[in-house]
Structure 1
Amino acid sequence: MTSLGEAARAVLLTPDPHDKRRAARSLARAWRQGRLDHRCDVAMPYQPAWPATPELLPPNQMPRRRKGGSERGRIALLHALAHIEFVAIDLAVDLIGRFGGEFPRQFVDDWIGVAADEAMHFALLDRRLRGLGSHYGALPAHAGLWEAAQLTVDDALARLAIVPMVLEARGLDVTPATIDRFQGVGDEVSARILARIYSDEIRHVSAGTVWFGWLCDERGFNVVETWQSLVKSRFRGALKPPFNDSARRDAGLTQEFYAVIAS
């Protein structure tokens, strides 16, 4: 039987986006079928294997996306979202392989589900891009999305604080307006995809919040104060309103966490 760590490492070292997507789904299936030992006994790579395209650019060099509902603008937005979901596969799998041994099996169950969701999200977005005459890799993409993982390789608590509870929570803030934007130009196909992703991301943020709280309890830490301290020390950015308070609350991320430290 292969260990969970070995299987997670194999996903991270798969460069082709579609092979990685399939590998993440296979990882989830193998875990659910009991074919993987709950052992995280191998080192995770500091940087996953990624394809030659898209070209990755620093945030300040990314082309500005045009406002409005042109097909070109919608393709650029969908491509950016596809890249987020592609990196999110590795973020979920790295969390499992790097830290899964510190938690009970339910933690792995939850994050295996997240990894499978991210793989499905990527597939939906890439399929939509192809329906519009493009594909993932056709445009440049943001180079900084993996930075949060690199800044939190030493501590599961920091990883949970930053990736699901800051980065994915930000998706809850901005996605409803993006759905409205697609609906406003009659692109109901893209809007439905984003609505599905939005619903799943509430569960992902909830998983982050639950397991952050669990680990704080294990270590005897105050949950809210610890999260605020980690965001201040580990997140390179600012928490900026507007916030989708209702969706965050549904995920267990209440205003007491972020209101006092938001810029």
Structure 2
Amino acid sequence: MTLAEGTGVADAARAVLDAADPAAKVKAARAAARALRAGRLAARFDTPMPDRPARPDSPELLPPGRMPKRGRGGSLRGRIALLHAIAHIEWVAIDLAFDMAGRFGGRFPPAFAADWFRVGAEEAMHFALLQRRLRAFGSHYGALPAHDGLWEAAAATTGDPVARLAVVPMVLEARGLDVTPTMIAQCEAAGDSATARVLTRILNDEIGHVGIGTAWFQYACESSGLDPVDQWKKQVERHVPGAVKPPFNDSARGAAGLTRDYYAAIAMPGGARHTVNTECGGLDPHSLE
């Protein structure tokens, strides 16, 4: 896919959001990021983003309470379900990154859109890697139901970039920093080094994504004379109350600039929802959502 010279940044972002087919969305994300890096996109943000991105016929999207239980122990079904759940998270993350750039890019310096286009292309790469692992197990994305918790959590922040930055990278994506190391360790213990390598790559990239979100959140707050820590707490309590739960991967969060000053004071006791239900995943990846 090649974008014409002079295509607007928001037009390129909208093309990603409008792609329903998984392969087409991955190609659109990569093409948009390449075009922006090459200087072929105009700094225009006059194209509106959709209320909801295009979605394929599958997976079926269910309310969280209706999601089926995943298999336990050494079952192939459990491993496929784990990978499918993470693939769905990465699929939605593609749209969230390009929506961030297309919806809010005109309010920030050009580096803002460039950062989120890069994040979106990396999320597309993560999805492709997970799709490859699913196919190695005889499955594919869309074979199982999923739910739309990530997008729904972001929908209430469509008019406020400070709120969106607080919620998506600094809460929802930061959760991945907490739960992924346990999944990696259990994959390695199960002898699934290929999946462990994919998850390690995703974890390392997600530290950067949370870091980008945190840096732009701090920029937005400081540009408006707001205290970033106080403002983050207010946004989280308003939009996703109860979503910040221990245990935390303080090292990874700290590497992303998300220090305990932000989350310790509002962390809910009791820990994240843990479900030991797959061969190589001890933490339920839906706790990211």
Q: Same fold (TM over 0.5)?
A: yes
Give 3-state SS (helix, strand or coil) of 2:149's partner: coil
For residues 1-263 of structure 1, the aligned pairs below 5 Å read: 1-235=6-240, 237-263=242-268
CA contact (8 A) 1:69 1:182 kept: no
Structure 1 alignment gaps of length 5 or more: none
Q: Superposition RMSD on alpha carbons, in Å?
A: 0.9
Instruction: Give the total of aligned pairs.
Output: 263
The one-letter code matched in structure 1 to 2:76 is E
Aligned equivalents of 2:140 and 2:31: distance in 1?
23
Indicate if the aligned counterparts of 2:171 and 2:243 stay in contact, CA closer than 8 A.
no
Q: Give TM-score, length-normalised by structure 2.
A: 0.89
Give % identity: 61
Which residue identity is paired with 2:255? D
- Cα deviation digits, residues 221-262 of structure 1 (max 9, x gap): 001000000000011542110000110000000001000101
> CA–CA distance in 1 between the matches of 2:93 and 2:216?
18
d(CA) in 2 for partners of 1:54 and 1:113?
26
CA distance in 1, matches of 2:246, 2:46: 41
Displacement of 1:183: 1.1
State the SS of the aligned residue for 1:37. Answer: coil
5-14 or 155-164: bigger deviation: 5-14
User: Structure 1 length as normaliser, TM-score?
Assistant: 0.98
Gaps of 5+ in 2: 1-5, 269-289
Aligned residue for 1:49, secondary structure, equals coil
Tell me the alpha carbon deviations over residues 181-222 of structure 1, each in whole angstroms, 9 at most, x when there is no partner.
111111110000000000000000000000000000111000
For 1:37 and 1:98, the matched residues in 2 are separated by: 15
Give the Cα separation in 1 of the matches to 2:235 and 2:118. Answer: 25
